[in-house]
Structure 1
Amino acid sequence: MTAELGHYALILAAIVAIAQSIVPLIGAQKRWADWMEFSVPTAQVQFLLVGISFAMLTWAFVTSDFSVELVAANSHSDKPMLYKVTGVWGNHEGSLLLWVLTLALFGAMVAWWGDNLPPTLKARVLSVQAMVGVAFYAFILFTSNPFTRLEFPPMDGNDLNPLLQDPGLAFHPPFLYIGYVGLSTTFSFAVAALIEGKVTPAWARWVRPWALAAWVCLTIGIGLGSWWAYYELGWGGWWFWDPVENASFMPWLISAALLHSAIVTEKRNTLKSWTILLAILAFSFSLIGTFIVRSGVITSVHAFASDPTRGMFILGILAVSIGGALTLFALRAHELRSNVVFGVLSRESALVMNNVLLAVSAGVVFIGTLWPLIAEFLTGAKISVGPPFFNIAFTPFFVALGMILPIGAMMPWKRAKLGKTIRPLTGAIALSLAVGCFIWATQTGGGMIAPIGGLLATWLVLGAATDLAFRAKAGQVSGGETFRRLRNLPRADWGKATAHSGLGILMFAAATITVWQTEDIRTMTPGDTFEKAGYTLRFDGVERARVENYISDMAQITAFKDGEVVAILNPEKRFYPVQSFPTTEAAIDRSITRDLYISLGDRQDDGSWAVRTWVKPYANWLWVGMLMMAFGGILSLTDRRFRIGAPAQKGSRVAAVPAE
């Protein structure tokens, strides 16, 4: 009965979402207070019903109820409990249920925490949020029902994709979904504002926390996925410009642009049309990512489904939501004009340039991801667009972004003088150039990529520190007063400095690991040794063992430096009998300045084993940079201005009347 209960709860949630999408919208138009208030309980009830549905599916996985088709296809009685639970969203149908659960959660949070919103705006936001939900409820119920029963249940299940049986993949999808679906809230705010025909600084302040929360979760989700790919797949890389990697990266770029654009709208009451457009595009790219993952148009290790019917359904959702929102934007854009004037040199202009670079970067990723499909459709020829294209086309825009961030952050609003703005940054400029020159002079090969990465990292970190010091009037007041001013700075300022510094560290790590890593591939038998980057590595042998639901071939490789043991590494090959699927578990000895990364290959006919070894400089700095960016966003979210938000506009509640 648990599967049937989950199915019925999902149907009821869809019915509630239909009511929520209609009644409050009419109430906002008619100014009927009770109809607008209807959005609050329906949002809460919808979340409760979807929560029940998700709990019932989780219970089916936990108890290994193989009469449910989804459980039989994606679980196994011998699977560890963690992966039984994560198996709920490790497939197409279950992940869609997680999607609508997250969508309903965000709607409920707007209902809970939106008391400071004008009643008409709140009602319209919750109504639009429910409309998005209705589309996905229909998608699940008509094409992807997770509660389908089997007439003849098997004795055991088919197991979860072995690549997904990893802690990194247990938490990576939920964070990504929170990010993807969190952008639906900014989309709902944008469409609601277009329906009302006005965008105010207060609206921008209400939108920013939702955009920031989504961006933080996307950052964490992308970071976890990159970390998983690095140590799990055994290929030695952390980013491959895979189409599904790109599907999460595009909304991350656009949401970053939205965050900066919303600042201008809030502070200066301008860029309103652009901010609205970015809010629409951010969620649009999330939907495009959903289409890429679930339509089967692109092959990827991340893809969930390859059903054309499902792809067409998602394409319909894309057409209606994006097309409808952009049509409404075109009709209302003339009402969002601003007469605010600012100079070419100003913080507004710097933030506009920031937005242009982020948007163009997203456009490059979008074109590169979809170009093989477009080319095949137009010419019938199959082509591939890989890392070389993205590295060449994408990198210059992010280098330019890194160059302008510290300067733009210190420019005053309305108009600025370049010399006056740069003067406090003189030391940061000089030291950054010195670091870049030092790396260029001491490296052996690699061109300018690593020096530029070092220069940008130093520039962003020192620029952020200079900005904080300038705000605290360091050097102009006493040390105690400087410390007091630093302590009293808004948390959003500290968050911005942390996030920008994290971006710099990430740029440095990406540059150095790309050009300075070294690789060795060979076959080895027990007792063999070889030299690599100052290390002596000895192959001690391979042991086979049965571990839970897989068979393990685990090697032992001892690393020596100057005759002393520095690490014992155990790279592993796993074989999952149920799915006849092998996986690779890399062994990594981590340090501050390098990773010693070893991957075990296949056994050869002569009894030797293939061993692949990398020395990866500053690899851990990749994850440090990503964590710093996420922490900076979280720090900004705790800012008092975000917690309190803007007050409701006076008179908005008085205008609402009971429905007759």
Structure 2
Amino acid sequence: MLVKLIPELGHFALIIALLMAVLQGVMPLAGAATRRPLWMAYGHPMATGQFLFIAVAYVCLTASYALDDFSVANVANNSNSLLPWYYKLSAVWGNHEGSVLLWSLMLAGWGYAASRFSGGLPRDMVARVQGVMGLISVGFLLFILLTSNPFERLLPNVPHDGADLNPLLQDIGLIVHPPMLYMGYVGFSVVFAFAIAALLGGRLDAAWTRWARPWTNSAWAFLTVGIALGSWWAYYELGWGGWWFWDPVENASLLPWLTGTALIHSLAVTEKRGSFKSWTVLLAIFTFSLSLLGTFLVRSGVLTSVHAFANDPSRGLFILVLLTITVTLSLLIFALRAPRVSHHVSFSWLSRDSLLLINNILLVIMTVTILLGTLYPLILDSLNLGKISVGPPYFNALFVPLTVVMCLFMGLGPVARWKSMPASELRRKLWLAGVAALVLGMVLPLIYTGEWNLWASLGIVAALWIVLPIGKDMWDKTRHGSSRLAGLRKLSLAYWGMVLGHVGIAVTIIGVAVVSNYATERTVRMAPGTELDVAGYQFTLRELKSRRGANFMADTAVIQVRNIESGRGFIMRPEKRFYLATGMPMTQVALRPGLFRDIYVAMGEDLEDGSWAMRIQYKPFVRWLWLGGLLMALGGILAIVDKRYRRTRTADRADVARSPKTQEAVL
């Protein structure tokens, strides 16, 4: 009997979580405004309780999937008794209602973490952060309970079995990709809350940026991994070997990543120099707003995509209202408070300050470019002004040149000084790196293929221009001391994080440049015994087999692949699957991965004469795309664990104790 009540228990837990979120959103903000410590103290227990009750709701939904409770509409529409258990767990978030519940759970988790690990900060600041996080949770919990209830029942007409999970989502990539992406999206709510709290408390100083930087780096690292995993999934799952589609939903994840990257650099300048204060707050507001915009695009029904879950206009209207309220109120607070608490800090046009500002402006221009290309067709369609399609030609024509220009300033930034720097000194530091980047960029494509390619050379030059100045900077920083190794050990983790982040960008650029210009693709007809040569490999179709999976039937091609030069060989087994519950066919790609090349084989259609269409591709350096993403994320993690942030609480507590104004606010 208790098992049958699991969905009701989950629904009740969400209602309690909503009540706690309301208290968390109202009481700490009111306490900070009226200087009442007891009201401010509501924040932490309400954040803890909200997180626990949403976790209970999530466990209840997961249990409904595990128990095949098809009386729950969400389970009946997205699961099946034949579905393997691990896909049942991922099916919890492989739909609209479950994904929003996961989003809310992560939002509550970030809110709890921000409350739990901010003990050394001023009490009024923590209270305001808790209050803003609580109000955001109120919006999403209302969204769930009013429009997207994951516990809705189908009683008394319970189906015998479920409709099954979309076969595209029955993959390991979709087990790990959405949670990582959501952690990034939701993580930016913390820095947004810090920014609003700083505005409300009149503390646009270096202290709030020190508090916000670890949270920003954490969210950015999660989002980076999530985007890389999404690209990796699209590469091997959709069957044609593409790694980025400029799909509107993919663009939605890239938008907050770009502004989040700008935010990381802007926070560094504000902490180090006390400048860019207003700009930093605006970036925090825009980054979280773009995360909400991504939620609107995926769950409003305005897009048709494998990534998009909802098609109910009421849901889209609710998120649009939530997005409008968030952006309007935060910008209103900014307009009222920022002019009172910010001031101008001067710096030379040739300095690290100005170079970081230029890079930030370029990142924002790239964001606006993608935003316009994504939203313009939707706006025209909604106004009945016609339908247009904005595809890769538009994005590549604008995004690629902006990226090249940004790389130019990325090479200058790490070796430049704060405030001002003589041009002669910058030339002295960088001339050798510039010459080496140009020479290697021209020569390496010739060595690789024997032919020169302009676009590949341009990409390699841009990547080397990012990396070589960093190497020069590390050389300069470690030349004083007993040994180079000892000097390297003295470099801070934050510095190593910067190095890995920039190297990751360079690695990704090389991957993009090489695979875009040197990939080989052939679509051929193959029957048992057919042989053909592609990119130095011989492919022989040995046999065609059939097999039964857990919830599908599959035709499998057994292909012998031999390296013509070395003679070494291996077997590849691409499949064409037919899922029993949905009747949906799916391509299961065969991959032979490597650090410097992938061999990619996908089965097309049965040509009904004993042969199949096959797509065979040779993808050089494609793995560098995702290796670069992992390096960037690792750089963000290293910056988080830098010891100066572990000292922040003690230092800021001492600053607070010495500040009569803050003492008065806290007491």
TM-score normalised per structure 1? 0.97
Equivalence map 1:342-357=2 (5 Å): 342-357=347-362
In 1, Cα distance between the equivalents of 2:624 and 2:391? 24
Structure 1 position 656, deviation (Å) = 4.8
In 1, Cα distance between the equivalents of 2:196 and 2:319? 20
Note closer, same or farther for the CA distance 1:295–1:444 as it changes in structure 2 (3 Å cut): farther
Residue matched to 2:591: 588
Residue matched to 1:13: 17
In 1, Cα distance between the equivalents of 2:496 and 2:316? 43
Structure 1 position 441, deviation (Å) = 4.9
Q: Is the 8 A contact 1:502 1:624 kept in 2?
A: yes
Q: Deviations over 1:320-376 (max 9, x none)?
A: 011111121122231243231111111110110110111111111111111211233
Structure 1 position 632, deviation (Å) = 1.0
Pair 1:200 & 2:208 matched: no
Equivalence map 1:242-391=2 (5 Å): 242-378=247-383, 380-391=385-396
1:523 pairs with 522, 525, 542, which one? 525
Q: Deviations over 1:150-186 (max 9, x none)?
A: 1122221111111111111101000011100001111
Equivalence map 1:44-59=2 (5 Å): 44-59=48-63
Q: Which moved more, 1:159-168 or 1:369-378?
A: 369-378
Residue matched to 2:560: 558
Residue matched to 2:428: 423
Structure 1 position 378, deviation (Å) = 4.7
Q: Deviations over 1:83-105 (max 9, x none)?
A: 11111111100010011101111
2:305 aligned counterpart, secondary structure: coil
Q: Which moved more, 1:156-165 or 1:447-456?
A: 447-456
Pair 1:568 & 2:571 matched: yes
Residue matched to 1:608: 611
Structure 1 position 621, deviation (Å) = 1.2
Pair 1:635 & 2:638 matched: yes
Q: Deviations over 1:504-543 (max 9, x none)?
A: 0100110111111111011111001111112111112221
Residue matched to 1:163: 168
Structure 1 position 642, deviation (Å) = 2.4
The one-letter code matched in structure 1 to 2:113 is: M
Residue matched to 1:107: 111
Q: Which moved more, 1:303-312 or 1:419-428?
A: 419-428
Residue matched to 2:7: 3
Residue matched to 2:65: 61
Pair 1:510 & 2:515 matched: no
Q: Is the 8 A contact 1:54 1:97 kept in 2?
A: yes
Residue matched to 2:469: 463
1:114 aligned counterpart, secondary structure: coil
Structure 1 position 427, deviation (Å) = 2.8
Residue matched to 1:448: 454
Structure 1 position 393, deviation (Å) = 0.7
Q: Is the 8 A contact 1:446 1:516 kept in 2?
A: no
In 2, Cα distance between the equivalents of 1:573 and 1:304? 25
1:496 pairs with 490, 495, 498, which one? 498
The one-letter code matched in structure 2 to 1:27 is: G
In 1, Cα distance between the equivalents of 2:538 and 2:445? 28
Q: Is the 8 A contact 1:440 1:448 kept in 2?
A: no
In 2, Cα distance between the equivalents of 1:638 and 1:656? 30
Equivalence map 1:78-227=2 (5 Å): 78-151=82-155, 152-227=157-232
Residue matched to 1:401: 406
The one-letter code matched in structure 2 to 1:550 is: F
Q: CA RMSD in A?
A: 1.6
The one-letter code matched in structure 1 to 2:426 is: T
Note closer, same or farther for the CA distance 1:217–1:657 as it changes in structure 2 (3 Å cut): closer
1:412 pairs with 392, 406, 417, which one? 417
Q: Is the 8 A contact 1:558 1:565 kept in 2?
A: no
The one-letter code matched in structure 2 to 1:448 is: L
Q: Deviations over 1:52-111 (max 9, x none)?
A: 111111111111111111111111111111111111111100010011101111110111
Q: Deviations over 1:449-494 (max 9, x none)?
A: 110111122222222222222222x2xx46x432212101110101
In 1, Cα distance between the equivalents of 2:294 and 2:452? 34
Q: Is the 8 A contact 1:32 1:656 kept in 2?
A: no
Structure 1 position 657, deviation (Å) = 6.9
Structure 1 position 653, deviation (Å) = 6.4
Q: Is the 8 A contact 2:446 2:452 kept in 1?
A: no
What residue ranges of structure 1 are gaps of 5+ in the alignment? Answer: none
In 1, Cα distance between the equivalents of 2:666 and 2:208? 23
Q: Is the 8 A contact 1:506 1:625 kept in 2?
A: yes
In 1, Cα distance between the equivalents of 2:598 and 2:572? 12
How many residue pairs align between the two structures?
654
In 2, Cα distance between the equivalents of 1:422 and 1:80? 61
2:603 aligned counterpart, secondary structure: strand
2:280 aligned counterpart, secondary structure: helix
Q: Is the 8 A contact 2:415 2:470 kept in 1?
A: no
In 1, Cα distance between the equivalents of 2:123 and 2:91? 40
Q: Deviations over 1:239-296 (max 9, x none)?
A: 0111111110000000000000001110111111000000000000001000100011
Q: Which moved more, 1:171-180 or 1:577-586?
A: 577-586
The one-letter code matched in structure 1 to 2:538 is: T
Structure 1 position 565, deviation (Å) = 4.0
The one-letter code matched in structure 1 to 2:504 is: G
Structure 1 position 605, deviation (Å) = 2.7
Q: Is the 8 A contact 1:439 1:450 kept in 2?
A: no
Q: Is the 8 A contact 2:527 2:541 kept in 1?
A: yes
1:481 pairs with 480, 483, 498, which one? 483
Structure 1 position 379, deviation (Å) = 5.7
Q: Deviations over 1:175-207 (max 9, x none)?
A: 011100001111111111222233010001111
Q: Deviations over 1:99-156 (max 9, x none)?
A: 1101111110111100121111110111011101101111000000001111122221
In 1, Cα distance between the equivalents of 2:144 and 2:154? 18
TM-score normalised per structure 2? 0.96
Structure 1 position 644, deviation (Å) = 3.2
Note closer, same or farther for the CA distance 1:654–1:197 as it changes in structure 2 (3 Å cut): closer
In 1, Cα distance between the equivalents of 2:288 and 2:532? 51
Structure 1 position 643, deviation (Å) = 2.8
The one-letter code matched in structure 2 to 1:654 is: Q
The one-letter code matched in structure 2 to 1:616 is: K
1:461 aligned counterpart, secondary structure: helix
2:244 aligned counterpart, secondary structure: coil
In 2, Cα distance between the equivalents of 1:199 and 1:165? 47
Q: Is the 8 A contact 2:561 2:571 kept in 1?
A: yes
Pair 1:618 & 2:607 matched: no
In 2, Cα distance between the equivalents of 1:601 and 1:42? 54
The one-letter code matched in structure 1 to 2:502 is: H
Q: Is the 8 A contact 2:23 2:42 kept in 1?
A: no
In 2, Cα distance between the equivalents of 1:556 and 1:509? 29
- Percent of residue pairs bearing the same amino acid type: 45
In 2, Cα distance between the equivalents of 1:55 and 1:592? 39
